[in-house]
Amino acid sequence: MDPAEAEQNPEEKEYSAVCVGKEADIKKSGRMTAVVHDREVVIFYHRGEYHAMDIRCYHSGGPLHLGEIEDFDGRPCIVCPWHKFKITLATGEGLYQSVNPRDPSSKPKWCSKGIKQRIHTVTVEKGHIYVTLSKEPFKCDSDFYATGQYKVIQSSS
Ligand code: FES
Question: Ligand 1: which atom is nearest the Cα of residue 81?
Answer: 1
Q: Are 41 and 52 in contact (CB under 8 A)?
A: yes
* Domain boundaries of the chain, sorted by first residue: 11-145
**Are 96 and 109 within 8 A, CB to CB?**
no
Give the pLDDT confidence of 98-147 residue by residue, as tens digits: 988 888 788 899 999 999 999 999 999 999 999 999 988 889 999 999 98
Separation of alpha carbons 5 and 7, rounded Å? 5
Q: Give residues (CB < 6 A) around ligand 1.
A: 57, 59-62, 80, 82-83, 85
Q: For 11-145, which CATH class?
A: mainly beta
Best of 54, 55, 56, 59 for a ligand 1 pocket test (most atoms within 8 Å of beta carbon): 59
Find the 46 Cα to ligand 1 centroid distance in Å. 21
Which residue, judged by its Cα, is nearest atom 4 of ligand 1? 83
Q: What is the pTM of this model?
A: 0.86
Q: What is the pLDDT of residues 40-85, one digit of tens each?
A: 999 999 999 999 999 999 999 999 999 999 999 999 999 999 999 9
